[in-house]
Amino acid sequence: MGLLAIDFNHKSYSTAIIKHFTGLNESTISSFNVLPLINLGLEQYDQFANDPLFNDVASTHPSMMLRLKIINTIPQLKLIRNFNQMYSVEEINVFKKEYNTTINELVEAIYPELFPDNKGWDKILVPMTIAVILSDGEIDEKEIKYFEDLFSHKSSQLISKYKKLLLHDNRSFKALVEAFINDSITIADNLGYNKHKLVPVIRKLLLVADSDGQIDMQELECIYKFGQAFGFTREDIVIMVQTQYRLNF
């Protein structure tokens, strides 16, 4: 609505965003060309969108770079370019779909955990959750309770498959952990996951590891073995633990 009010002048809107976030006043802004600042913000968006761990150092409030990216992208879209023009309902729906898809892609690049529903997370999380639970060589009641709460509204068929393996498979915990990790890697690979999109999954697995009150090295190693297949390093996992739990190693 703000963009509409200024006749879709995204440079002016971007200037207002920068003034709001930085505290620069009108006299300061008018004394230099603000365009380099806008471009810098857009460049920072691209950097953060390609940094899987960005959200571990960012606030939950939408970043200035994301706002700048959105406001400088949507004027190119048909819904905005053709505003106040007459089109059929079908054409408008096409415009809306393009608009929503573009916005979602820009937001997802920074905050991928906001878009879990259609990404097949459960297919990865169920076997990996069990792998993490088993990785320290014992099954804690708190971990089982966390598992049940985490997937209480999920596919019972998917959960039953792995519960049967857990209860009736004669292999050792170590062998089951390896099997579940390999299964999860294959599923994530088939679903087209990359390091960036798996960050929220790793975060959930760290919550599983901590559900019994402590994170064991075996649990971290289990999570790392899964993440390693997609480019995660041990340092990445340590950074996520330190950020998520404010722990010092």
Report the pLDDT averaged over residues 234-245.
79
* Average model confidence (pLDDT) across the chain: 79
pTM over 0.75: no
Report the pLDDT averaged over residues 48-60.
60
HSE of 70, CA atoms in CB hemisphere, 13 A: 20
Q: How confident is the model at residue 18 (pLDDT cuts 50, 70, 90)?
A: confident
Is pLDDT at 242 greater than 60 in this prediction? yes
Q: Rounded to whole angstroms, what are the CA distances from 216 to 140, 210, 221, 241?
A: 13, 8, 9, 12
- Backbone φ and ψ for 194, nearest 5 degrees, come out as -130, 180
* pLDDT confidence of residue 248: 43
- Per-residue pLDDT of 74-124, as tens digits, reads 999 999 989 889 999 999 999 999 999 999 888 877 777 676 655 677 788
Q: Rounded to whole angstroms, what are the CA distances from 69 to 10, 51, 89, 100?
A: 10, 16, 28, 14
